[in-house]
Structure 1
């Protein structure tokens, strides 16, 4: 094979490996994703840059077809279609902004980094290499974000070997001294393995079982318990009264996922339940596109879509604490956590209901992403997932 034909093939293979390894669900492997800008910059033509971008994104999001098929109980074809559609914004941005001109390439890539971090392109902008900042620049906060952004620009220049060596040194140092984020004192997240029944089983027995789980933790000195996304099902006055009655006489505070439904659609929310009364703590800013957030329904005069509160309620108050809530898909994209960090919250609460991702790495990637952001900003983290 001629060298000029071999190079694009090698670049595509390298991009697929970067996406596969970097987004395998192990937080310390996130820096592998930083190979993508190097590969993108080595593309000889715009079409090769587009294919390289597609290879990286599709490999990183490889769990989507199987997950969508499980969620909709459909054939794999629907998952494949949504998988390809999800890649369009990433591929389009990186193809359009690719250039041969060395002088402007870093600024073109900076624009790609920004566009894939904020809506509308960032709605499907997970697999963002900037997430690796939490591994390389642990505790640096906004300075760490600035440093990795500058480094990403350097990786698309002729100086990329020096930048890559510097990143590799930081990576090894971080791995040698790595510790997971701490839990806030008195807080505990509950991981459940209730599959698709969580949020759909509205029986009294299910609520009693969850209440018993909460009280068991409280007996061990935990006063604040976090339950996964959708744990309470539909948020109704009856559910609220049941939990308030169960928590009377205790100092337990419960944060749990639920859904608030009205005639136009629904909100995916977190509620907080102290013994003296419950309230909605947080409304999800970015529900899962396609499966939950379906804006075309309103355009067609239909109902049933989850609402997206894109830039609302970045933090929420629980007692004396300000927390940054992240529900499910919000852990995969960039802007919700950065918007929350602008308010300097005390810690992060990350919940998910990933029963439909069984057999994929999606929940592991969610965990790795939230850990990375918590480490970057030196924030405690309370995770709670159902699988």
Structure 2
């Protein structure tokens, strides 16, 4: 009887360890997440596969309860509830597609991986093992993504030890020669440490602080200065006039996060400002579900919440180049970056406002994911975060 429970227990504990280590915030540890398809495939029953999936996902997203509590200034219970609800799609997909048939199991796992990469399930498709392609196959682009998909399928077969050994070889080689993505030439990403006040304090004093930060970066020769998500607060004609006036004698262009309000809600955007004026550069495709994106409001005739432009503006033109912007939550899921890569941008811009993640690994994981995707497609990367 004890043996009947020992194997499932070991699989569940192993899945938790894989989630914790793989998504620790260190980019070179991402391939540890590839242990999940192995554990899923060797589960002997559907219920064990569901528990293994739950253990992996909950461990990988372990910072969510504390982060939600900080965001809403509440106790831990709302965060725990959201944490469990968010895991339902991941667990459901992997439980439903699990099978005892060894022949079809790898195809079913790949199907589960695809489902968790695109909407609607991909909306909460965090901790996707395919992200490890950026470590194992750096610079291989779409070929690397294809090999990674094949590797995931192989890990769900009975020959998984041989596949694991091969992937480990790629991992060790990549770790031995690893270098971080380069900055685009002439670009500078500015990290801030302004906590919860960023985006909420929209006074003139705060705008002047931002202006001083940009001038400092531009004085070092940067032609494009990137500020984090929400750096400018609300984007209004007054804010635009202030910044355009400041930049009228400068050659620098400022890329900064802001919120664009209307009667029905708001867009989380990036704006580009230079001496000629300001413009909306990018509208976030996938805001954070629940705290920002609240589609149920429209069902009851209410307004509010951020709009999701799911497949809009995958690349934007900036000067002579084309960039792929990723705002905050978009760095944790798969389809926004892959949609952008279909258009072969020249670089990636990753911004975020992670003040509410203090004490968690969420910002580190966001940086890790953005770095992995940039390495996979050999794209320069500029990052700007507020903590």
TM-score interval for Structure 1 and Structure 2 normalised by the shorter chain: over 0.9
Give distance in 2, aligned partners of 1:152 and 1:217.
43
- Structure 1 equivalent of residue 171 of structure 2: 171
**Which position in structure 2 is the counterpart of 1:204?**
204
Q: Deviations over 1:141-173 (max 9, x none)?
A: 000000000000000101100100011111100
Question: 2:267 — aligned with what?
Answer: 267
CA distance in 1, matches of 2:189, 2:300: 40
Aligned pair 1:308/2:308, yes or no? yes
- The Cα offsets for residues 52-84 of structure 1, whole Å up to 9 and x where unpaired, read as 100000000000000000001111000000000
Distance 2:192 2:199 in 1: 12
Once the two structures are TM-superposed, the CA of residue 109 in structure 1 deviates from its matched residue by 0.5
Find the counterpart in structure 1 of residue 250 from structure 2.
Answer: 250
2:181 counterpart residue number: 181
State how far apart, in whole Å, the 1-side matches of 2:338 and 2:304 are: 29
1:156-206 per-residue CA deviation (whole Å, 9 max, x = no partner) reads 101100100011111100000000000011100000000000000011111
For structure 2, the 5+ residue unaligned runs are none
Q: TM-score, normalised by structure 1?
A: 0.99
CA distance in 2, matches of 1:4, 1:169: 34
Inter-partner Cα distance in structure 2 for 1:173 and 1:278: 45
Aligned partners of 2:46, 2:303: CA distance in 1, in Å? 41
Is 1:97 aligned to 2:97, yes or no? yes
Matched residues in 2 for 1:218 and 1:229: separation? 19
Q: CA deviation at 1:3?
A: 2.0
Q: Name 1:61's counterpart in structure 2.
A: 61
The answer for the alignment partner of 1:237 in structure 2 is: 237
TM-score (norm 2): 0.99
Q: For the residues of structure 2 that align with 1:203 and 1:234, how far apart are their CA atoms? A: 11
Question: Hey, what does 1:39 align to over in structure 2?
Answer: 39
Point out 4+ residue stretches in structure 1 off by more than 6 angstroms.
none
Provide the secondary structure at the position in 2 that maps to 1:348.
Answer: strand
In the alignment, does 2:149 pair up with 1:144? no
CA deviations on 1:327-382 (whole Å, 9 max, x unpaired) are: 00000000000000000000000000000000000000000000000000000000
Which residue of the partner structure matches residue 332 of structure 2?
332
Report the Cα offset of residue 216 of structure 1: 1.0
Query: Secondary structure of 1:306's match?
Result: coil
Where 1:191 maps in the other structure, the secondary structure is coil
Unaligned runs of 5+ in 1: none
Mapped to 1, the partners of 2:141 and 2:149 lie a distance apart of: 13
After superposition, give the CA deviation of every residue in 1:289-310 in whole Å (9 maximum; x if it has no partner): 0100010011011111100000
How much is the aligned-residue C-alpha RMSD, in angstroms? 0.6
In the alignment, which residue of structure 2 is the partner of 1:192? 192
